[in-house]
Chains A and B, each alone.
Chain A
Amino acid sequence: DVKVTQSSRYLVKRTGEKVFLECVQDMDHENMFWYRQDPGLGLRLIYFSYDVKMKEKGDIPEGYSVSREKKERFSLILESASTNQTSMYLCASSSPWEREGADTQYFGPGTRLTVL
């Protein structure tokens, strides 16, 4: 079974702090994604990566950066946390279409971040 883990289930930070959210997958997936989920807004893509050291902006990248130094690990960084970044953050991974015949994304358990 695919396993995607996230470093924390719950996190409380103060405004202005630098925040690191870690995601690790164990299925040798090339693609990794960071989303935030807010009530009434669904899932919004922040950044994604389709290879080590590669990254692309999603729909709402402002205020975030990412790092992918190893294939299995994708980190989301909030350089200076703000209260409007309080949200549920979900990491996902997938294999390329060419390998799996589908782009099914497998999700981690999520990190609920509160910024005070």
Chain B
Amino acid sequence: ELKVEQNPLFLSMQEGKNYTIYCNYSTTSDRLYWYRQDPGKSLESLFVLLSNGAVKQEGRLMASLDTKARLSTLHITAAVHDLSATYFCAVDNTGANSKLTFGKGITLSVRP
């Protein structure tokens, strides 16, 4: 059974500093997705990582995938308040009708 773990579950960040959050998964997969959820809102797709070594960047966020380590990282550069949200990673159950298994999410809060 595929398990997806995210840590930490909550992170208080100081504005202007850099941080990294992690997503580990338990079985072989080379497809990983990051989503963002603002309070009271739905999930929005952020990044799609489809191979070992894939790196995607959008603004202050950079996501990477190491399929051998079964690990994805989301790096935040110079945190700003607008990045406060919950971030989910999801892993493809390859061959299982496009099912994704989601982590429990990491809630980021950026303080001045």
Binding site for B on A (CB under 8 A): 31, 33, 40-43, 45, 48, 50, 56, 58, 90, 92, 94, 96-97, 101-110
Contact = CB atoms under 8 A, between A and B. Distances in A.
A102 B100 contact: no
B88 A48 contact: no
A31 B98 contact: yes
A109 B41 contact: yes
19 contacts: A31-B98, A41-B104, A42-B102, A42-B105, A43-B88, A45-B99, A48-B99, A50-B98, A92-B43, A94-B98, A96-B98, A103-B100, A104-B45, A104-B48, A105-B98, A106-B45, A107-B35, A109-B42, A110-B41
Contacts, number: 55
Contacts of B88: 42-43
Chain B contact residues (Cβ within 8 angstroms of A): what range? 20 to 34
B70 interface: no
A108 B98 contact: no
Interface of B: 31, 33, 35, 41-45, 48, 50, 88, 90, 92, 97-100, 102-105
Contacts of B31: 102-103
A49 to B, nearest CB: 9
B45 to A, nearest CB: 5
A43 B92 CA distance: 14
A102 B103 contact: no
Contacts of A109: 41-42
Given A102-B31, A102-B50, A48 B97 contact: yes
Most buried by A among B50, B98, B102: B98
A110 B44 CA distance: 12
